[in-house]
Structure 1
Amino acid sequence: MRSAAAFLKHVKEGTCTPRGSAGSPLALSHGFYNTVACFLQDRFKTQLGPAGPLLETMFDRFMEGRDPTEFSLREKAQFLAHGVVSGKIFDLAKPANVSIWKELSGHFARPEVKTMLAQELDGVVEPERRTFLMANVVCEQLAFRMFERFVKQLSSGNVIDSIQALSGITPILVVLAPYIYGFHSQAPSRIRLRQMCVDFTGSVPAPLQNRKRAWFTDTLEDVNGVSTTIRKMAAAAQEAGEDLVVVTSRKELTVDGIPIKNFRPIGEFELPEYELQKLSFPPILQILDYVQREGFTEIVISTPGPVGLTGVLAAKMLNLQMTGIYHTDFPEYIRILTDDRFLESLAWTYMRWFYGQQDTVFVNSEQYRRSWIDRGIEPEKLMILPRGLDTELFTPERRDEGFWSRFEPASRAPNALDGESQRVRLLYVGRVSKEKDLDVLAAAYRQLLDEGVPVKLCVVGHGPYADTLAELAPDAIFTGYLAGEELANAYASADIFVFPSTTDTFGNVVIEAQASGLPVVVSDVGGQRELVEPAVNGFVTKAHHVSDFATAVRELVTNSNLRLRMGAAARASVLHRSWPTAFRRFWAATDF
């Protein structure tokens, strides 16, 4: 082809065949790094002095995806010869040059770094990808160290110092900027392309339809409503033949049976003021690369933690549709756990920013939908998340009168002579933590016992408040975590479900109890109040009001006919729920 005109002539006539491989974010970034390196070598050759050839070789090895600090005997001899010929052999031994070499070689020589590099580069032959993976390992480890300092300072209440610690990540972002730019520049605006197709053809072609979604979450195998919802929805998607992959980052993962992509975390850290809960620092750019290569069309985000933030970055960088789910009222948790209004305000600021990035935000109840509207989220963005339930697993038919005796200490096992076995079972299921308002439950329980009301508290779950609750209710039964059929048996073998929490946005445990034929007693603050029809399938009591909560429980305990009638109504109220139905509604909500 001798000219541009000749080239265009062949294109117009159709006498050409497209060949070759398409560009990629990694190839673009690789070329950018090479260009910058050449410029720096030419511009600062004199300033680099005798270290120039060494740095040039190190950079070349790095761009080939090899350890930049491992040199052959021949290469070492060449460096020495260059120093002798140039007359600057002794300059190589200056403290500045030695310290740079010592830091770099020392880092790459660390056993954990070598092991990590070997794992990441195993089987990878493309220089661009090897370089990308190597840069990730080094930069993300450094970033995690900065983040650890941030968490430590924040845990100590030093907010200003924590922000300063986090600012140390900025230079790392500058170094990785070519990769970030490469991913963003290679991602077309799908919204604009869809609109163009509709304008010109009246339809959206398959490649631009929302057919493949990645669901980002920081929690997956923990015992909570978020994990349950994600696992059930993913299973329903698989059964329906839809393309949905759960993306997470955990050191160990035992969940199976659903499509999961688990990235080995750079490190883990504990959530301040929330014992027993760990979060992972994910390999951000590797996840970004995975989303780009797999061709996902939407990012769904369940948690505002590090993995959720990575999902936001992926959606923004790759111009993908983004859906957030507000599962947990973290600002309220922070208020209760820390009693610090400033931290609560910071949490709300962060949440407003985080969910403000989403194209669609699912909430669990009308109360939280109105709350987010009041906080500035556009009403058209907000939807109620469809929730499912396994009514075949959770059923009154599983009732076992001897179930609770297995958890009673031998020293106080129930027997018919003292009337223990005739006490009405009050059941709480969930995390045993301060933010669940379990102090209200314990106070109401003590009040009923003092009045001679025949009740027995049974607690299923675990958490940092367990020891305190055991002291407040010493005769209560504590089973620890239960799951599957054993959990379903616990529900069915109780008589009344008690749930005083004011921080839950929905309350999976409430509908599980209802499906098991239990009347429920809840507070009037939180999403769970919308699941209860007062005086029909349970009672809604004043938040944090011990006497009101105790009165509702007392009425159900002393009136067995009312208790049975409300239990039957409770099951009838949730029989329409199923996970396949919930998934279909969820999938269709953001389809186009």
Structure 2
Amino acid sequence: MEKIKICLVSDTVYDVNGVSRFIQDFSKEALVLKKDFCVITSTKKTHYEKISNIKNIKPLFTMKMPFYKSLDLVLPNFFKIKNEIKKLNPDLLHISTPGTVGLCALISAKILKIPVVGIYHTDFPAYMYKNTKSKFVKKGTILFLKLFYKSYKAIFSRSEEYFKTIEEQLSFKKEDLYTLKAGIDIKNFDKKFKDDSIWEKYDIKQEKFKFLYTGRISVEKNVDILLKVWMENFFKECELILVGDKEIEFLDKDKLKKSNITLVGRKQELELSQLYASSDCFIFPSTTDTLGQVVMEAMASGLPVIITNEGGPKTFVKDDCGYIIDLNNETQLSEAILKMSKKDEVYYSKKEKAYSFMRDKSISHSFLDFWNKNQEILEKLKVRN
């Protein structure tokens, strides 16, 4: 096949979330595999690691994103973004997010006559409804996305679970939908990072059964429901550890401690890997994630998982790796917590199956599959034209 050049544009690249980590991992993998792949973003945020094929164009203005405080809403420099895309002259322009940076890229692609492909990372209509409880806002979000994605030649989804949603809400044909093969950097998420001494700094007793959650501590991730169930049942021999940016109100620290809940804030690099591998079980109550990158990171670290029966994670998590619960039935959540905390033969079986499942889910496999599918899209476009 002939060589191709791909440019990906995203509003979120240096944030602490699964989408950002995915884009960073893809960028590094492209360098290893010597593929002509680059990323453009616009943010005042920085990253602990310099990745040479990520171009950050300084924004003109930033403010906190409504309903998503850990993200910035930016006013990008349109002309600099357009000129950068023009200079790169990619065969395909991937737009990863329907934000202001993505909109600049979309307009630039139209002017420069570059075909556009996208990645459907987040179920935004469900996300907005979760935060506002307004059907009007949900319908408005769907209308905006339909207009935003109208000129796209193809859309990637991180799981087939969302194909029907994309077909119905965005009026896309199934033949133009592609699965973005699941994969993470399994070198950095592995049970070899287990280090029980890490709990000393958080004043968590070694003998406690440790349930871990990583991600935004927010309503749309259903962390409020998790906290409600946890506090109502009081799992005496367990600890709930929350890693991420806090976006909902909490009780004071003393009450949290009495409920065996510990907030450790945002974590990255080695400490994040150690927190995963040194915990006992991962719990993820979200119903709006299209894949659930953090669930894969947890399983790669040797943790069985508790997830919901809605959203992307249920497409790859099977019963032998954890428990899949209906969050509308809070009893199911409390029962799953109690079953896991027994640490019996069933628990250890699920733990081993989760770890084994992730052994062939490397970012390298995911990137190569992505690259081949983009070549396929370009061939289709040539035929159509």
User: Is the structural similarity TM-score above 0.5?
Assistant: yes
Q: CA deviation at 1:443?
A: 2.4
Decide whether aligned partners of structure 1 residues 276 and 515 sit closer, same or farther in structure 2, where only a CA change above 3 A counts.
Answer: closer
**Contact 1:459-1:478 within 8 A present in 2 as well:** yes
1:232 aligns with 2:15: no
Residue 557 (structure 1) aligns with: 341
**Contact 1:298-1:315 within 8 A present in 2 as well:** no
Residue 590 (structure 1) aligns with: 374
User: Which of 453, 460, 464 matches 2:243?
Assistant: 460
1:407 aligns with 2:214: no
The TM-score, its normalising length taken from structure 2, stands at 0.91
1:319 aligns with 2:113: yes
Residue 383 (structure 2) aligns with: none
Decide whether aligned partners of structure 1 residues 211 and 424 sit closer, same or farther in structure 2, where only a CA change above 3 A counts.
Answer: same
Q: CA deviation at 1:210?
A: 6.1
The CA RMSD measured in Å over matched residues stands at 2.0
Q: Secondary structure at the match of 1:586?
A: helix
Any idea what the Cα deviations from partners look like across 1:370-403, whole Å, max 9, x if unmatched? 2112222111111111232222322222222222
1:286 aligns with 2:70: no
**Contact 2:75-2:100 within 8 A present in 1 as well:** yes
**Contact 1:365-1:384 within 8 A present in 2 as well:** yes
Decide whether aligned partners of structure 1 residues 218 and 210 sit closer, same or farther in structure 2, where only a CA change above 3 A counts.
Answer: farther
**Contact 2:302-2:354 within 8 A present in 1 as well:** yes
Q: Secondary structure at the match of 1:553?
A: helix
Unaligned runs of 5+ in 2: 380-385
**Contact 2:27-2:51 within 8 A present in 1 as well:** no
In the alignment of these two chains, the number of paired residues is 372
Bigger Rg, structure 1 or 2: 1
User: Which of 309, 313, 321 matches 1:537?
Assistant: 321
Q: CA deviation at 1:365?
A: 1.4
The residue type paired with residue 219 of structure 1 is T
Residue 514 (structure 1) aligns with: 299
Q: CA deviation at 1:563?
A: 1.1
**Contact 1:447-1:550 within 8 A present in 2 as well:** no
Residue 574 (structure 1) aligns with: 358
Residue 500 (structure 1) aligns with: 285
The residue type paired with residue 368 of structure 1 is Y
Q: Secondary structure at the match of 2:327?
A: coil
Q: Secondary structure at the match of 1:351?
A: helix
Decide whether aligned partners of structure 1 residues 251 and 453 sit closer, same or farther in structure 2, where only a CA change above 3 A counts.
Answer: closer
Q: Secondary structure at the match of 1:287?
A: helix
**Contact 2:70-2:245 within 8 A present in 1 as well:** no
Task: Tell me which protein shows more strand as a share of its residues.
Answer: 2
The TM-score, its normalising length taken from structure 1, stands at 0.60
* Cα distance in 1, alignment partners of residues 34 and 361 from structure 2: 20
Q: CA deviation at 1:471?
A: 8.3
* Cα distance in 1, alignment partners of residues 226 and 269 from structure 2: 25
**Contact 2:120-2:156 within 8 A present in 1 as well:** yes
Identity %, equivalent residues: 29
* Cα distance in 2, alignment partners of residues 344 and 555 from structure 1: 37
Q: Secondary structure at the match of 2:197?
A: coil
The residue type paired with residue 11 of structure 2 is D
The residue type paired with residue 345 of structure 2 is N
Q: CA deviation at 1:498?
A: 0.7
1:350 aligns with 2:144: yes
Residues 221-370 of structure 1: pairs in structure 2 closer than 5 A:
221-254=14-47, 255-370=49-164
Residues 346-495 of structure 1: pairs in structure 2 closer than 5 A:
346-375=140-169, 376-408=171-203, 414=205, 421-449=206-234, 454-465=237-248, 467=250, 473-474=256-257, 475-495=260-280
Q: CA deviation at 1:559?
A: 4.3
The residue type paired with residue 359 of structure 1 is K
Task: Tell me which protein shows more helix as a share of its residues.
Answer: 1
The residue type paired with residue 179 of structure 2 is I
Q: CA deviation at 1:544?
A: 3.2
Q: CA deviation at 1:429?
A: 0.9
Residues 135-214 of structure 1: pairs in structure 2 closer than 5 A:
211-214=4-7
Q: CA deviation at 1:282?
A: 1.3
* Cα distance in 2, alignment partners of residues 431 and 462 from structure 1: 5
The residue type paired with residue 506 of structure 1 is L
Q: Secondary structure at the match of 1:575?
A: helix
* Cα distance in 1, alignment partners of residues 23 and 187 from structure 2: 19
The residue type paired with residue 407 of structure 1 is Y
Q: Secondary structure at the match of 1:503?
A: coil
Decide whether aligned partners of structure 1 residues 351 and 470 sit closer, same or farther in structure 2, where only a CA change above 3 A counts.
Answer: farther
* Cα distance in 2, alignment partners of residues 308 and 489 from structure 1: 34
Q: CA deviation at 1:422?
A: 2.3
**Contact 2:93-2:117 within 8 A present in 1 as well:** yes
Unaligned runs of 5+ in 1: 1-203, 415-420
Q: CA deviation at 1:259?
A: 0.9
